[in-house]
């Protein structure tokens, strides 16, 4: 079982079918995703391709930065892997995968954090010009 690729990732099983920005990604598992010819491995997660019911590779953008989210469904669990843009993911992969483009949805947590950040930045700019 040769190692085909390895990359930094963060991954979660807490999102289910939703592909979105959320608090679950703040607490997601981080590590080196290893892609072998017969399975994926991230820490204690060992996912044989034969257990995949479905694999979808979403091409996404976070602001201006391209990336991918790999969603893997097995009988019991849905895994999501946040991946940096890399040509490896554009090539043929060692497992059957559907490719889709999508715009990431925002959770309420993401909207609140962005609103607070924008308000704080606006306040600092206002303070700078009125002092």
d(CA 33, CA 41): 6
Q: What percent of the chain has pLDDT over 70?
A: 83
User: Tens digits of per-residue pLDDT, 77-94?
Assistant: 999 999 999 999 999 999
- C-alpha 124/C-alpha 129 separation (Å) is 9
Closest CA to 94 of 125, 61, 42, 55: 55
Instruction: Give this prediction's pTM.
Output: 0.75
How many residues does this entry show for the chain? 131
Band of residue 120 on the pLDDT scale cut at 50, 70, 90: confident
Residue 103 has pLDDT above 80, yes or no: no
Task: List, in order of start, the domains of the chain with CATH numbers.
Answer: 3-105 (2.30.29)
Return the C-alpha torsion angle 65, 102, 19, 42, nearest 10.
-60
Q: Which of 33-37, 65-69, 97-101 has the highest mean pLDDT?
A: 33-37
Q: What is the pLDDT of residues 25-64, one digit of tens each?
A: 677 889 999 999 999 999 999 999 999 999 999 998 776 7
């Amino acid at each position: 079982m040769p190692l085909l690729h390895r990359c930094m990732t963060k991954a979660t099983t807490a999102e289910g079918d939703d592909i979105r920005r959320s608090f679950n990604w703040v607490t997601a598992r981080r590590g080196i995703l290893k892609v072998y010819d017969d399975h994926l491995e991230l820490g204690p997660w060992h996912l044989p391709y034969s257990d995949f019911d479905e694999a979808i590779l979403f091409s996404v953008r976070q602001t201006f930065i391209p990336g991918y989210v790999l969603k893997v469904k097995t009988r019991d669990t849905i895994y999501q892997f946040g991946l940096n843009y890399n040509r490896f993911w554009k090539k043929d992969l060692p497992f059957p995968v559907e490719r889709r483009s999508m715009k990431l949805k925002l959770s309420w947590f993401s909207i609140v954090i962005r609103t607070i950040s924008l308000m704080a930045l606006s306040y600092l700019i206002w303070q700078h010009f009125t002092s």
